[in-house]
Amino acid sequence: MGDGNVVPMTTVGFIGTGNMASAIVKGIVADGIVAAADVLLVDRSRDKAVALAESVGGAQVLDSAAEIAQRADLTVIAVKPNVVASVLPELGTIVAERGSAIVSIAAGLTLARLTELAGADAAIVRVMPNVNATVGASMSALTGNEFVTEAQRSAALDVFGAVGRVIELDEKQFSAFTAIAGSSPAFTFVYIDALARAAVAAGMPKAVATEAAAQAVLGSAKLLLESGTHPWELADIVSSPGGTTVAGLLKLEDEGFFAAVVAGVKATIDRDQELGKA
């Protein structure tokens, strides 16, 4: 990343105000990273942008993506990957000339592709957050091209740290990260539902079963992160000799649970890399 000097971040702009952008906006305002009045918004649906602006106490709604780039220190492109190609080209020169930075949260679009679309020596940060940003519990990864300064990198870390955990990661590992952190919430939701449905089959009400399964997953993740213990070691602690847990684990293995998880991750990685070549 670059070593140049830029004006300290005072404004953050968002192109797109969907669920992810809304979560980030609410997070950075709540954490005091940026004042509401210094958050700039634009969306094809002006009503959506206005609603978000009002919900955080007075963000500014602008008329175009170019206007965002002309005023923001950090411009977050929060649109679908297929829309980025129509948005980014008009922003690259503006950002490069101002010494500001662009942040992309689009899956599959590499720094090389984003820089190509920008058409200028613009500072570009690539971030992969996940849906849990909506409850302040995202797991995000961040990397940047050679034009990103230390100040811009730090600002991006602050922004995404407001909605969960964030790490810096070599871009060559982004496809794997997308699978195990970006897509895995969907896998986890399905796993929780499978647990609950199995309990329903045993006579438990669905709402009770879903709450119990979700809390068990939440607590297990918390224990793993806070204890620093290897996952299999924790599994062994729960598994008494000849008991119920080990019987269930062995049946999961017999039914291909572990192989299915690995195959799902690989399929996600493969698709992410295909998107990067599109």
Is 33 annotated in a binding site? The answer is no
188 carries a ligand binding annotation: no
Tell me: is residue 245 an annotated ligand-binding position.
no
Residue indicated by tokens 């689009």: 106
Say if residue 18 carries a ligand binding annotation.
yes
Q: Check if the beta carbon of residue 142 is closer than 8 Å to that of residue 166.
A: yes
Does 17 appear as a known binding residue?
yes
Least Cα distance to 37 among 17, 16, 12, 20 occurs for 12
59 marked among binding-site residues: no
| 19 appears as a binding residue in the annotation | yes
Please, what is the Cα angle at 211 between 205 and 214, to 5 degrees?
A: 135
79 appears as a binding residue in the annotation = yes
The CA distance from 261 to 249, in Å, is 14
* Long-range contacts of residues 44-49, Cβ cutoff 8 Å, at least 24 apart: 45/17, 48/17, 48/18, 49/17
Question: What span, in angstroms and rounded, lies between the C-alpha atoms of 25 and 127?
Answer: 15
Annotated binding residues, as ranges? 15-20, 78-81
Annotated binding residues for NADP(+), as ranges? 15-20, 78-81
